[in-house]
Amino acid sequence: MEVFPYMCKLPNSRVAAILQQRFSYVVDFRQPWKIKHAFVVIIFAIIIGLFCGKRTCFGFFRVMQCKEKWVKDIFGVETLPSKYTIRRFILLVNYEGILESLMEFVASFGRPAPGSLLCGDGKTFRSGHEKCQRKNGLHIVTIWCPSLCIPLAIGRTEEKSSELAQLQAIIPQLDLFGYVLSLDAAGGVPLIAHLIISAGGDYLLAIKNNQPLTYCEIEECFTKSIYPLGASLQEIDEVKKNYDENFYEYHVKANGRFTTRRVWSKSVDELPRIEFMKNKWENIKTIICIETEVTKNKNVKSEEPNRRYYISSVEKSTEQFANLIREHWDIEVMHNILDVTFKEDNSPTADRNGLYNIGLLRRYVLSICRMLSKKLKINIPEILDKIAMDDDIALRNAIVCGAVELISRL
């Protein structure tokens, strides 16, 4: 069966113009009399190399050699840029131009639907040399939109401990009106909650021991009102009866494990120290507890049950909160794909500017792949194989240019 059964044609003549316009923010740093290949040809070489699963300059060059006729037809060039030209471009080009181009591409998809969840998280990646030397890698903070499969904002920092500072810089630049921004414990601090509310949005924040007073307050409240960890099924069933509207339970069966998640939600007014919580967390309205229990064959517990706690500035049903918290993991899926499929955490590039430039272009490629995967219900490795092996030029044109709307099932 065809992976892409239908596609409107995107001729070669349009590809060069589309990419030239899309990456118009990139400033060519080379001296005019030394320019042999336009910068858009080099960017094109990197993009098709990433789509074919390559991660080195030599790999990008080899892919371009294999697709030589296609590249020459698009750009009307007689020769291809060498691997050394590609390497110099990656290392020396200003990342701000690539970032602006990526954000322009993201803006072309419009705004997410009102009420959508936005996820924020950081990811550290480093070159293979840095991993061997156990050095700190480059840390990128991303605000991700699961519904559109695109990054809405990207920030760079040299230290994971600086993730909070990067969030403080990114959030005020976003228009969060009508959206819920979820962050893990690294972003679960009162200042971030204040910035999200000031930007017009609502928050859903994970609370751990980095906020000890808040964590103990919520833990004590739920421990008293439900049951201790490791309770019997009879005790659990008894508690369920008293939580008709504020309780939700669902099951997931995958990878030989049977996972049960029980979710409780309470109004913040039910906490003993209401004033303390409201003074510390701006506009706080709800506290949430999720208990996870993993078993094998529904009988043998493979892990001890654990509980996670969240706070939010919105009032929703417990089932809606459960869905929002589960949707937050879409950004973790994105990070996993970058590491497992694109091998981002084992890059041969040691230069920080080069790492960041490749990282931004990799996110451009990933966004297109995620949109195709969501639309056509196929996995990303299958998409990459199709792009690398298929001879349909119009298909490759549409994918490389991000014209996902041209590809659909009949």
Burial of residue 84, with CB atoms counted within 10 A of its CB: 0-12 exposed, 13-18 middle, 19 or more buried = exposed
| pLDDT band at 191; cut points 50, 70, 90 | very high
Place of tokens 């990811």: 123
pLDDT at 28 > cutoff 90: no
Q: Which of 192-196, 243-247, 351-355 has the lowest mean pLDDT?
A: 243-247
* pLDDT the model gives residue 405: 58
Q: What's the mean pLDDT in 242-264?
A: 79
Whether 403 has a pLDDT exceeding 70, the answer reads: no
Tell me the per-residue pLDDT of 284-324, one tens digit each, with 9 for 90 and over: 999 999 988 888 765 555 667 888 999 999 999 989 999 99
Q: What is the band of 145 on the pLDDT scale with cuts at 50, 70, 90? A: very high
**pLDDT score for 222:** 84
Alpha carbon distance 4, 375 (integer Å): 11
CB 281 within 8 A of CB 204: no
pLDDT higher than threshold 80 for residue 390: no
User: Cα dist. 279→57, 190, 305, 309, 313 in Å?
Assistant: 54, 10, 32, 19, 13
* Extended beta strands in 148-268, E state: 150-157, 180-183, 202-207, 247-254, 257-267
Say which range, 117-121, 199-203, 298-302, 390-394, has the weakest mean pLDDT.
298-302
Q: What is the pLDDT of residue 406?
A: 55
**Does the pLDDT of residue 21 top 70, yes or no?**
yes
pLDDT value at 197 more than 70 = yes
Residue 245 has pLDDT above 80, yes or no: no
In this prediction, residue 274 carries a pLDDT of: 81
Mean pLDDT for 186-198 is 92
Looking at every residue in the chain, the average pLDDT score rounds to: 83
Percent of the chain whose pLDDT exceeds 70: 84
pLDDT at 260 over 90: no
CA atoms of 266 and 101, how far apart (whole Å): 43
- Does pTM surpass 0.85? yes
CATH dotted code for 207-311: 2.20.130.10
268, 285 contact by CB (below 8 A): yes
pLDDT of residue 343: 85
**Between residues 135 and 362, which one has the greater pLDDT?**
362
Cα–Cα distance, 247 to 265 (Å, whole number): 7
Please give the pLDDT value at position 203. 95
How open is the CA angle 41-44-45, to the nearest 5 degrees? 90
More confident residue, 86 or 159: 86
Span 199-222, mean pLDDT? Answer: 90
Compute the average pLDDT of residues 104-111: 86
pLDDT over 80 at 326, yes or no: yes
In which band, very low, low, confident or very high, does the pLDDT at 109 lie, cut at 50, 70 and 90? confident
Residue 2 is predicted with a pLDDT of: 44
In this predicted structure, what is the pLDDT of residue 195? 94
Instruction: Give the rounded percent of residues in the chain with a pLDDT score beyond 90.
Output: 31
Q: What's the confidence (pLDDT) of residue 409? A: 38
Q: pLDDT value at position 344?
A: 84
- So what's the pLDDT on residue 384? 84
Range(s) within the chain of domains with CATH label 2.20.130.10? 207-311
The pLDDT value given to residue 3: 44
| pLDDT given for residue 9 in this prediction | 55
- Give the β-pairing of 247-254 and 138-145: unpaired
pLDDT over 60 at 404, yes or no = no
Cα gap 174→152, rounded to integer Å: 8
Question: Is the confidence at residue 391, as pLDDT, over 90?
Answer: no
Q: Identify the band that residue 43 occupies on the pLDDT scale cut at 50, 70 and 90.
A: very high
